[in-house]
Structure 1
Amino acid sequence: MKKCVRARQGRDANPPNIGLTRRGATSPMTAIAQGTPSMLRRFSLCFSDPQLERTYRCDTLPRTLIQGRTAILVGMLVYLLCGLLDIWHVPPEARWGVWQSRLTALLVPTLVLAVSFTSAFQRLAQWWLASVCVAAGFGLIAIQSQVPLENTPYYYPAMVMLTFYTYNFIGVRFTYALGIDALLLVSYNLVFGLLLDYPGHVLFSHNVFIISANLIGGTTGYLVERQGRQLYLREQELEKERRYHHDRSLHDPLTGLPNRELLYDRIQQALAASQRHRKLQGGLFIDLDGFKHINDQLGHQMGDNLLVQVARRLRRSVRKTDTVARIGGDEFFVLARDLASERDVHHLAAKLLFSLRLPLPEVPAQIAIRASIGVCLFPYPDMSVDDIIHRADMAMYRVKTTEKDGYCLAELEP
């Protein structure tokens, strides 16, 4: 089938709006340098951008899950191992009460471990992990309160271990760990200083080691979380830069349109889709008429500006599912996906021609932009990407060598 059409002049050639496809013109490198907040809040270590904070928590959730589950299992084992001390340091009449406290405290990590396999954990991960530490701390206080005073040196070191466990192992954030250990330290002093009236020098020695553990564990936890968040920021910046360079390699640097390489990939996808679903696809090869004369008359800078405006108009004339590419010089290509019938491609070609004939800003009124368009519809037997572009190109030349400012459908027979 061979069909060439001369575009009609006048307002009746204006087809209805098909859609709009836009691509941002701002430099991705500017976004890398300025768009991502790099400042962490000094104490809470939260990102100043709430969206970045949510993204970070979402991205680190899998690691938090693994670390949390591992810490819970190890913590429960250590908690039970500490029960071996009861044989020598807990009076027989108090052992049942001590084990009641220990087993009650172990109910919380058991529950949290089960919840970690549900969506409820994902929403409040830090609170669930914090509850494990709180339960362990109050359990240790309850156990130690039933141990004779002379045997407490064998039990209060567990509070020191819990301090490091909270800051450095289970995966709670620094601010949560600090709040938990402050709560446990106050509770420890209230129980053993006021209720059980421990001698001052004994309670003081316990506090020295527990507070020292908080200073060491807390500082380590703060620095590790801070460095982890800074590393995450850097990884995000590197990923943006990688995507930016990848995007640049697949797009025309002047117009921002897909280049020939990306166009080939899009047409290959359309080929596969047309073979699976038998949907009609269209390739439109567009060549500007007389652009070299315009470029020579107005200068290359104005010519570049004209190409940018042409690219913008072409994008505005197609659907979001379609692709507009610049394949060299003043040549463009439109890939129209999933057409309902051949009638759609006639409508699109007329729309593109009408859009290009409209006056362009900063271009002298006497200079008019016109185009020749060649159209190749597919699928057809033995089609390939190169053949589709070649057929559309040949159809465009038939327009170029005759009346110009029109479009022509390529032969579909092989």
Structure 2
Amino acid sequence: MSATTTAPGTAEKGHIDPASAFVPVQTRSERQTSFDPADFGAPTGREVNWKHTPVERLAALFVDEPAPHGVISVEVSAPDVVEQTRLRPDAAPRGEVFTPEDVTSAIAWHQESEAPLLRIPAGVELDEPVVVTLTGNGGVAHAHVVIEAAPQSRGVVVLRHRGSAQHAQNVEIVVRDGAHLTLVSVQEWEDDAIHLSAHQARVAKDATLRHVVVSFGGGVVRVNPSVELAGAGARGELYGLAFADAGQHLESQVYLHHKGPHTVGDVLYKGALQGASAHTVWIGDVLIGPDAVGTDSYEANRNLVLTEGARADSIPNLEIETGDIQGAGHASATGRFDDEQLFYLQARGIAEEEARRLVVLGFLMEIVQKIGVDDLAERLVTRIEAELAAGAAR
């Protein structure tokens, strides 16, 4: 399966002589897509979708070669009603939603001969989450996973990543009419792990996708969700939490495409950073298409820098192609501790270290509470506190 797509007319935009001029890709909707890794080539770091990523650390994932078996151990805990099978590249719904946007996702598609499918059947409401635990055992691994919520179903799927690996991963998400799906991807890798993941989703009529990215561990972790609100009344809630330590690069490039009428989008990512060279990147692209009348959409990214030497890059973008919307906006803020908050807490007898812990927890808890899985929320709070304690001990 091979196809290449570029937006029509992009070569002529803003140039007198299109035959002799190069026009860089300016927006997410213009990017090239292809199932063939050769159509992309290895990134140099100058490309718009790679310029904030340390590509020199990712060389092993730019090679289109079979990876050894057993690099990633997979354990699935799911109610019996959840359907599990495997899909070849030409077996639906694989490929219904997903089209690679970069070389690593094209390689993962190509190398995954049989993609695992998790399907919540029509009309079923799960009473416990599906938990997929992926443990890296060292080496390079590729994966393509398909998750489908059939019409009028409800459920939660949690992807837990731990151990060590260099992992290129695709997650294809199909949310049918009236379904409600929560997908949580948690990255708790060891410090030497590399994880590049492309999530692509389509949300149908009156359906809701709550998509959450939580990144703690890993040397380079890049999880890029792309969500199309295709049906009338579709809703997309995209949330993220990143806690970067010294030497870590945690990145998310978020794309929310309002395609159908009367769709609702809510995007909120938060990051905390501590330690020299801790780095987070958030790029948020929202496209409100010409048929997306009545859209209500907002995206925001907020970062809390805890120490010197840390850096947060935050780039919100908004495209609107119709004038008939309910509202649209974006915001971005990066800063240090609020001295007034610290003073308030210390004035009431709380030690400075404890006051800082409370401020960070309060800042990040907004995302944790949106997950809606109590056991997972408790574990994430414990992890945040451990990160803070480790930073204070340095």
Give the TM-score normalised by structure 1.
0.20
Computing the radius of gyration from Cα coordinates, the structure with the larger value is: 1
Q: Compare the two structures and name the one with the higher strand fraction.
A: 2
Q: Compare the two structures and name the one with the higher helix fraction.
A: 1
Give the TM-score normalised by structure 2.
0.21
